[in-house]
Amino acid sequence: MGMAHQPELVEFFARHLGAGGSFATITQARQQASAVLGEPVLPGTALAKQVDEAVEAGVVRTAQGILQTSTTTHDTYDRLVDLHDRQPALNVRSSTSVLQQAYSTPIPIAFLASSLAGVTPDKTVYEPTAGHGALLLGTDPAKATVNELNADRAADLRAQGYSVTQFDASEYQPHQQHDVIICNPPFGSVKDEQLHTRRFPIADTWTTQIDQVIALKALSVMKPEGRAVLILGGKRGHEEELRSERYNTRESRAFYYLLYQQYRVTQHLSISGDLYRKQGAGFPLI
């Protein structure tokens, strides 16, 4: 297919989902994509991954339309949950997405996050790991500072009207301060190009948890009166005591100490990761 036909496929999925259509499985979505593209989409191929990306981009386009036509917050959320239920599970992972731990935010969670952050078109917003733009719902592209390392996703964001940088979000720091910081960075540890686990400085220690590093870097460009919503990886485990103990590791203690010392944290919520299963993951969130 090549990326030249990606916009055509994104438009097809957005139109199908926007009209109330659904896909019971990713196989069904690939069959539809094959008809649009005039070539087969085989499982486990680069083309199959591109179809996954087109579905995600189509979901975001559909969500933008829902946001514009809904009358209340509850109506918007209910319609976004319905949209999420109608999309297929996206499980293809390329070497790039594995290396970058690139999972997109489920659209209902994205809407909740933007609502909590108070995102409106008149506010400046920074999103350091923007993906296809799920967390940018409700923003004015002209007032959004958008960073996305992945070239294909960055191209899709530009197609939506955003000006996009492509820096490593664990190192990049925009020059301006922002009203809102919102992000869902990759969770857990990541590998470098030599497949070694990356280590990042944090205060007087270090961490392998890239979401912690990106979150703190992003918060550094929040206005003093600004607001932020961070979607971070939680701790696995069904027993409350076990999950509590896992927050007590050296890496987690250092991060949360810094977070609570330097910022006024008003809410700390835990969310089941089940919604992420349609994005190819299933990690609990905080």
177-231 pLDDT, tens digit per residue, is: 999 999 999 988 888 889 999 999 988 889 999 999 999 999 999 999 999 999 9
The answer to whether residues 160 and 78 belong to one domain is: no
144-147/125-127 β-pairing? parallel
User: What local confidence, expressed as pLDDT, does residue 95 receive?
Assistant: 45
Q: What pLDDT is stored for residue 100 in this prediction?
A: 43
Whether residue 37 contacts residue 9, with contact meaning beta carbons closer than 8 Å, is answered with: yes
Q: Which residue has better confidence, 285 or 181?
A: 181
The CATH number of whichever domain residue 220 belongs to comes to 3.40.50.150
Query: End of a domain among 92, 117, 135?
Result: 92
Q: What residues form DSSP beta bridges with 285?
A: 233, 271
Residue 212's pLDDT is 95
Q: What is the pLDDT of residue 235?
A: 58
In this structure, are 159 and 239 located in the same domain? yes
85 and 166 both lie in a single domain: no
Average pLDDT, the chain: 89
Domain count, the chain: 2
Task: Verify that 212 and 85 share a domain, yes or no.
Answer: no
**Which one of 92, 122, 142 terminates a domain?**
92
Say whether both 113 and 88 belong to one domain: no
Mean pLDDT, residues 240-247 taken together: 62
Position 249 scores a pLDDT of: 75
Determine the pLDDT at residue 90. Answer: 85
Residues 111 and 199 in one domain: yes
* Of 56-60, 62-66, 89-93, the least confident: 89-93
Predicted pLDDT of residue 87: 96
Chain-centre distance of CA 184, in angstroms?
Answer: 5
Looking at the structure, tell me whether residues 100 and 70 fall in a common domain: no
In this structure, the answer to whether residues 47 and 116 fall within a common structural domain is no
Q: What is the pTM of this model?
A: 0.89
Edge to edge, the sheet with strand 125-127 lists: 164-165, 144-147, 125-127, 178-183, 222-230
Mean pLDDT of 265-280: 74
Residue 271 — pLDDT band, cuts 50, 70, 90? confident
Question: Contact 31/52 with Cβ under 8 angstroms?
Answer: no
Contacts 24+ apart (CB under 8 A), 139-148: 139/114, 145/174, 145/176, 145/178, 147/172, 147/174
Predicted pLDDT of residue 102 = 54
Q: For residues 75 and 149, state if they share a domain.
A: no
Pick the range with the lowest mean pLDDT from 26-35, 224-233, 264-273: 264-273
193 touches 214 (CB < 8 A)? no
Residues 33, 148 within the same domain: no
Same domain, 105 and 151: yes
Range of the domain at 197: 93-286
Q: Using alpha carbons only, how large is the chain's radius of gyration in Å?
A: 19
Residues 127 and 249 in one domain: yes
